[in-house]
Structure 1
Amino acid sequence: MARRPLPTLLRNPYAALLKGRGLVRTAADNAVDVFHPLITVGRGLRRLLAWLRARWDGTPGEQRGPLLFIAAAVVAVIAILPYGPVLAVAATTAAAAWAGRERPVVATGPGPAALARLRCLYEALVPHFGDAGDPEPLYSYRGDHTRVFDDCEFDGEDRPVRLRLRYPAYFDDGDPASRERIEQLLHAKAGRGREYRFDWDEEGNRLTVTALEPLPCDVGAQRFVTAPGEILLGITDACDAGRTVPVEGEDGGRDAPPVLWRTGARSTEPHLLVLGEPGSGTTTLLRSIALQALEEGELLVLDGGGTGGYACLAGRHGVLAVESDLAGALAGLEWAAHETERRLAAVNAALRDGRPVPEDACRPLWLLVDRPGVLGRLARAEDRPDPQDLLEVPLRHGRAANVTVVLADEPAAVGNGLSAAVCAGARARVALGPLAPGEVRAVLGVPAPTSRAAQVPPGRGYARLGSGPAVRLQVPAVPDPYDEEVPEARRRAVLELLPPRRKTLRAVREPAVAEG
């Protein structure tokens, strides 16, 4: 006799319950699909009512009466219009459906990789900001990093673009060495290869770290739109410049934030000192200054390095001389000292007599001295006067006599080659090239405003005018037009800015001989 199977209820007592749950779930899904429009309209009406309630609460008391009168007038007009109530209900339903629609959820905040980087930064800062004696430390091992970072921005590669973090009040943020340790750590952990600006808020105990974009290197030799007596040293960040100037680059014209150095009688920093290793762009900056100075003044160039980078200026209108040997440099500086004294006497006499200053004392005179330390060593070897001693008169009285001195040398020359008069007189400073933080501090007198970049192109550095802040700087590309390795477009741009050559006595006599 065959065995009969057991009933389903005896084999699985929960089968009926599971089947009932499935039916209920299916019925609920079908009900949601059927009533979805009503649910959307109801959600929209709730949002519209909440918006109206917020507007009503934000309306001043003296304006609520007129607002109610306008609303009652609108309702009355709708009531008397043909099909007015029907259209009003349809419009309200459409507005509620639009307000109650399901909006896609946009993911905000840092992703998993960015959160991991923030956690790494937090743990790296614990030994510097943490204190075992703090009862409620901001920084502790296995602590909460979300309490520290107030604002975070990341790029597409989950690298921080901007960070704003808190630090305890007992951290010595006034010590440059303590700041430097934190900045080096953040530079290493946030991502090498970029420049970072560190803004310390000592009052609020906040540190803002901003990743800076590289400064453009495509600005070449051109006529810059500046005021009389202003010299454009280069391009900087928009946050460090008070205005912009139109420039021409590889991609066409645009406005760029400049670093402007004001010279003349109203300047607080009438003389400039440029320091950088060979190849960092010091000669390029001096050539750029020379082209701008020749628009209004006269120029005397002393090339102590003897590189021939200023040969393009020789024999041009406004260029008094281009000397590269010791004898010529001494003669030129001696003449410059006497010329400064003559101009100063002429200015004082005109002011005493109430007359205008003579034109020959008003025309700007520029002294460009490249590598004065080399000239000083040559003078000591030949037992001759140091050329830097002859610079004391132009440096001391140059502003009143409208004489401007621009010097360029290596960073090692500070305190070991440049005289005290030169270092004290040239208060406008420029540091170019991949200099160490200590060298930047020795040149500018303050720490570098940004971290050190991985690759420093020629002409990149920092500038500080007097007691002002240090800013980033990119010098315009003004190459030697006689260098055949330079692109033709760059060479032609420099040649177009050079003044015409002076007619020598030989050039004047040759046509006369030919005609005779």
Structure 2
Amino acid sequence: MGRRSLPRIPTGPAAPSPGRELARGLADNARDMLYPLLVVARGLRSLATTGRHGWGRMPRERRGPTLLLVASCLAIVALVPYGPTLGTAALLAAGAWAGRDRRGARGAAAEPGEAESGRLQALYEALVPYFSAPQDPRPLYAPGGDWRQAFEEYTFDGLGRLTALRLRYPGYFTDGEEGARARIEQLLHVKAGRGPEYRFDWDEAANRLALGVLPVLPTDVWAQRFVTAPGETVLGFTDPSAVLRTVPVTAGEETYDAPPVVWRTGPRSTEPHLLTLGQPSSGVTTLLRSVVLQALLHGDVVVVDGGGAGEYACLEGREGVLAVESSLPGALAVLEWASHETERRLLAAGRARREGRALPADVRRPLWIVVDRPGALSHLAARDGRPDPQDLLAVPLRHGRTAQVTVAVGEQLEGVGRLAEAVLAHTRARAVLGAVAPEQVTAALGAPSHTTPADHVPPGRGYARVGTGPVHRLQVPATPDPYDEETGDAQRQAVLALLPRPVAASPTG
């Protein structure tokens, strides 16, 4: 008889165990039962974190009304029949919605489509020359590598366009050098798509770079009275995450809170003078006109229009407007008077302080010197052999902060070379408008903007920086010339409503 082979009994880890299978089944059932509770808990924690961060960013003057509104809503819910029950159900539903896993079931990351994966791989391969080194034994970026090891988060819109990306980069990358950053930002801008504007947030401590699409800045805010303190001027509006303050604005029939870029002047200002640069028809004159309308609330203004196009004719003969000049002789006379007035104010302020008296009223009232396109006047002065009008701005620029004198200068980018050294040295509140290249933004503001240029640049769109602060995206409120035939009736009426009343004519004998 032949030998009968016995059946082989499986051993080792692959051997099925009834007890182990039972425990695994119970664990799966328990996880399935607890999963909804975990989703709700995660969502409630996310909502609480969002609320805490929103409370921290909220201005102090808005916290009291917000608390009153929340308490009123809770009181109404408590008094309504079945209100607490319905409120609890709504809160749990909100937590479940906020806690849902957007990348797949139970935390498993959903794989991107073939087209999306191809775009991520192409972006990864493009970054290899910048984020790799031959001596790296375990390179994070390598030719033919997998993008999943470097890209932590990514988001695509419904059209398959990249809207958000968070990536890791090696620690030896020189992220402290602006040139190295600029190369990476330019590459990501090209590969992600040139349509929207992107913002880049560098986390040097964690070696992370986040890319996100920025919302379009609103262009429907016109000239109006802004809620500001004396000495504060709204240059325009920016992204909500860029500043901690908002002001109410009216756009058409709607009123909402918008984040402003505020420039502070006066004796305690560190940057008392402004320089605005831009391409032709980019909104430089519009910004200066907006500044003048805000300055007339608390001070006097003299305007020198080097362009000579009559852009400031609406200010002539108004209370608080001491002069509006566009000719070279008139500009020289006005600026010479402003220089002497600054010296007089400075002497009067020093005398009052030495004697322990309050400053005279004519010294406390701010004086604004607004000069649009001084380079054109300097060219005419050099041709005629007359003094340079910009030389007369040296005294107001150097001593204006103490004398309550503020200088605001506007010039086209092509005329920057004609600006005097004193103008460039003392105007450290800056704005640059129009379709400008990143290197022009850096040259004008002294720091780069970590946002990509806009594909479509409306009038008044650009960047602003006050002193050594961050560079902000900027949209200037529409303040057109009300005497221009192409100005819409609504915008014309908005500007005319802000003009001071005309100066009463003196009686003649």
**Fold conserved between structures, TM > 0.5:** yes
How many residues are matched? 418
1:236-385 mapped onto 2 (5 Å cutoff): 236-250=238-252, 252-385=254-387
Residue in structure 2 matched with residue 474 of structure 1 by the alignment: 475
Residues 26-65 of structure 1 correspond to what in structure 2 (within 5 A)? none
Is 1:121 aligned to 2:123, yes or no? yes
Q: Which amino acid aligns with 2:390?
A: Q
Amino acid at match of 1:438: E
Q: Residues 239-282 of structure 1, C-alpha deviation per residue, up to 9 Å, x if partnerless?
A: 11111100011360000100000011111000000001110000
Q: Report the TM-score, using the length of structure 1 for normalisation.
A: 0.77
- TM-aligned CA deviation for residue 224 of structure 1: 0.3
CA, structure 1 residues 141+246, in 2 after alignment: closer, same or farther (shift >3 Å)? same
Say which SS state the counterpart of residue 154 (structure 2) adopts.
strand
Tell me the residue number matched to 1:7: none
Give the residue type in structure 1 aligned to 2:485.
Answer: E
The secondary structure found in structure 2 opposite 1:351 is: helix
Provide the rounded CA distance (Å) in 2 between the counterparts of 1:498 and 1:341.
Answer: 29
Question: Which residue of 2 is the match for residue 433 of structure 1?
Answer: 434
Amino acid at match of 1:154: F
Indicate the structure (1 or 2) with the bigger Cα radius of gyration.
1
Of residues 129, 141, 144, the one that matches 2:143 is 141
Deviation at 1:114, TM superposition (A): 2.6
Return the letter of the residue paired with 2:345.
Answer: R
Distance in 1 of aligned mates of 2:503 and 2:358: 30
Partner Cα distance (1:258, 1:149) in 2:
34
Give the counterpart letter for 1:368 in structure 2. V
Residue pair 1:154, 1:161 contacting (<8 A) in 2 also: yes
Which residue of structure 1 aligns with residue 449 of structure 2? 448
Which residue is 2:92 aligned to?
none
Are the structure 2 counterparts of residues 389 and 208 from structure 1 closer, same or farther at C-alpha, using a change threshold of 3 Å? same
1:430 partner SS: strand
SS at 2:381 equivalent: helix
CA distance in 1, matches of 2:291, 2:172: 47
Match of 1:6 in 2: none
Given candidates 187, 191, 194, the residue that maps to 1:192 is 194
Query: How far 1:407 sits from its partner (Å)?
Result: 0.0
Q: CA deviation at 1:141?
A: 1.7
SS of the aligned residue for 1:174 comes to coil
How far off is 1:418 after superposition? 0.8
Shift of residue 136, structure 1, vs aligned partner: 1.0
Output the CA distance in 2 between the equivalents of 1:504 and 1:43.
Answer: 90
Residues 1:152 and 1:482: Cα distance change in structure 2 (over 3 Å): same
* In structure 2, distance between residues paired with 1:370 and 1:51: 64
Partner of residue 401, structure 1: 403
CA distance in 2, matches of 1:240, 1:45: 45
C-alpha separation between the residues in 1 aligned to 2:349 and 2:366?
A: 13
Q: Does 1:488 align with 2:489?
A: yes
1:446-493 Cα deviation digits (max 9, x unpaired): 112311111111101110101111111000000010112111000000
Unaligned 5+ runs, structure 1: 1-39, 53-102
State the 1:51 CA deviation: 10
In 2: Cα distance, 1:47 partner to 1:435 partner? 56
Residue type of the alignment partner of 2:474: L
Question: Which residue pairs with 1:421 in the alignment?
Answer: 422
SS at match of 1:264: coil
Alignment correspondent of 1:73: none
* Cα displacement (A) at 1:162: 1.8
Q: RMSD of the TM alignment (CA)?
A: 2.3
1:180 Cα deviation (Å)? 1.6
Shift in CA distance, 147/504, structure 1 to aligned 2, threshold 3 Å: same
- 1:33 corresponds in structure 2 to none
How far apart are 1:208 and its partner, in Å?
A: 1.1
Quote the Cα distance in structure 2 between the aligned partners of 1:411 and 1:50: 60
Structure 1 letter corresponding to 2:132:
G
Q: Give distance in 2, aligned partners of 1:323 and 1:195.
A: 40
Q: Deviations over 1:404-435 (max 9, x none)?
A: 00000022333x21111111111111011111
Tell whether the 8 Å contact from 1:110 to 1:154 is kept in structure 2 after alignment: no
SS of the residue aligned with 1:275?
Answer: strand
Paired residue type of 1:360: D
- Pairing of 1:53-132 with structure 2 (within 5 A): 109=110, 111-112=112-113, 113-132=115-134
Give the 3-state SS of the residue equivalent to 1:391 in structure 2.
Answer: helix
Task: Tell me if structure 2 keeps the 8 A contact 1:267–1:399.
Answer: yes
Following the alignment from structure 1 to structure 2, what is the Cα–Cα distance between the partners of residues 45 and 353?
A: 83
**Alignment partner, residue 71 of structure 2:** none
How far does residue 209 in structure 1 lie from its aligned partner after superposition? 1.0
* Separation in structure 2 between the aligned mates of residue 51 and residue 164 of structure 1, nearest angstrom: 28
Alignment-derived partner of residue 163 in structure 2: 161
Letter in 2 for 1:457: P
Partner secondary structure for residue 152 of structure 1:
strand
Cα distance in 2, alignment partners of residues 478 and 108 from structure 1? 50
SS at 1:246's partner residue? strand
CA distance in 2, matches of 1:285, 1:49: 59
Shift of 1:49: 8.6
Q: How far apart, CA to CA, are the structure 1 residues paired with 2:292 and 2:212?
A: 35
CA distance in 2, matches of 1:50, 1:254: 40
Contact kept in structure 2, 1:317 and 1:501, CA below 8 Å: yes
| 1:388/1:419 contact within 8 Å kept | yes
Deviation at 1:119, TM superposition (A): 1.4
Pair 154,51 (structure 1): closer, same or farther in 2 beyond 3 Å:
closer
TM superposition score normalised by structure 2: 0.78
Unaligned runs of 5+ in 2: 1-24, 38-100
**Does 2:257 match 1:235?**
no
Counterpart code for 1:468: G
What one-letter code is carried by the residue in structure 1 that aligns with 2:470? P
In terms of mean alpha carbon deviation, does 156-165 or 215-224 score higher?
156-165
Return the alpha-carbon distance in structure 1 between the equivalents of residues 253 and 119 of structure 2: 36
State the shift of 1:50 in Å: 10
Distance 1:457 1:302 in 2: 26
Q: Give the partner amino acid of 1:256.
A: A
Instruction: Give 2:400's aligned amino acid.
Output: G
Deviation at 1:154, TM superposition (A): 2.3
Q: 2:216 is matched with which residue: 214, 217, 221?
A: 214
Q: 1:131 to 1:316 in 2, by over 3 A?
A: same
Residue aligning to 1:463:
464
* Matched letter for residue 198 of structure 1: F
SS at match of 1:239: coil
Question: CA 1:121/1:397 → structure 2, altered by over 3 Å: closer, same or farther?
Answer: same
